[in-house]
Amino acid sequence: MNQMQNFTKGFFKENAVFVMLLGMCPALAVTSSAINGLGMGLATTFVLVMSNIVISLIKNFVPGKVRIPVFIVVIASFVTIVDLIMAGYAPALHEQLGIFIPLIVVNCLVLGRAEAFASKNSLGSSALDGLGMGLGFAMALTMLGAVREIFGALSFFGYKFAPGDGILVFILPPGAFIALGFLIVLVNKFTKKA
């Protein structure tokens, strides 16, 4: 598989949310708005890229018996960095995302890419894989948040485009399942034609 395929597979072919159904906790919990989805997606992308880079560099020095705990420590280090930076420079978003930022440590997507890809591939391929999968995850969370915000609050990225209230269910947790279901159908219909 060439480098560009490594990068683009995370957008539709192997999208964590729409195809592999990974990372559902943040996908359903924090995507009540597009900005929340984008913020969580970019935070996860940073963690994915940086942890893939480090794991790719240290893979030959880590004994097999402690491989997973070492990967978790590497991931947790970058999650801590993201958490502190977001708390300092984007406190409103940090407050909205809350506990879901530290939970990036146990996101199946991040640990899965570390184990399945970064621990077996070169630095460049691992960085591209992390970037592609992370941006695909960010795209999915932003799309889900945008749909929920448009229908639930009649706004987009916080800007109200119509008077009145939207359909309340889209802002509530059941709306996440409804919107996700429709988006999965649309993505599958789109990718099956391509």
Q: Which of 4-18, 36-50, 117-131, 176-190 is predicted with the least confidence, judged by mean pLDDT?
A: 4-18
Residue found under tokens 């359909």: 167
Measuring CA to CA, which residue among 173, 138, 169, 142 is closest to residue 153?
169
Q: Is the pLDDT of residue 2 over 80?
A: no
Structure tokens that stand for 188 in this block: 């599958």
Q: Categorize the per-residue pLDDT at 1 as very low, low, confident or very high, splitting at 50, 70 and 90.
A: low
Q: Is the pLDDT of residue 193 over 60?
A: no
Angle at 49 between CA 43 and CA 52, to 5 degrees: 130
Give kind and range of the element (H or E) at residue 160. Answer: strand 159-160
Query: Distance from CA of residue 86 to its chain's centroid?
Result: 16
Q: pLDDT digit string (tens) for 39-75?
A: 999 999 999 999 999 999 999 998 989 999 999 999 9
Query: Is pLDDT larger for residue 36 or for residue 22?
Result: 36
Q: pLDDT digit string (tens) for 67-112?
A: 999 999 999 999 999 999 999 999 999 999 989 999 998 888 898 8
Arithmetic mean of pLDDT, 112-130? 89
pLDDT of 138 reads 95
Beta bridge partners of 155: 160
- Rounded Cα distance between 117 and 93, Å, is 31
**Residue 173, SS3?**
helix
**Residue 1, SS3?**
coil
- Rounded Cα distance between 85 and 72, Å, is 20
For the ranges 19-33, 73-87, 110-124, 180-194, the one whose mean pLDDT is highest: 73-87
The values of phi and psi at residue 156, to 5°, are -140, 120
Measuring CA to CA, which residue among 124, 116, 121, 175 is closest to residue 146?
175
Number of structural domains in the chain: 1
Q: Does this model's pTM top 0.75?
A: yes
Range of the domain at 182: 3-193
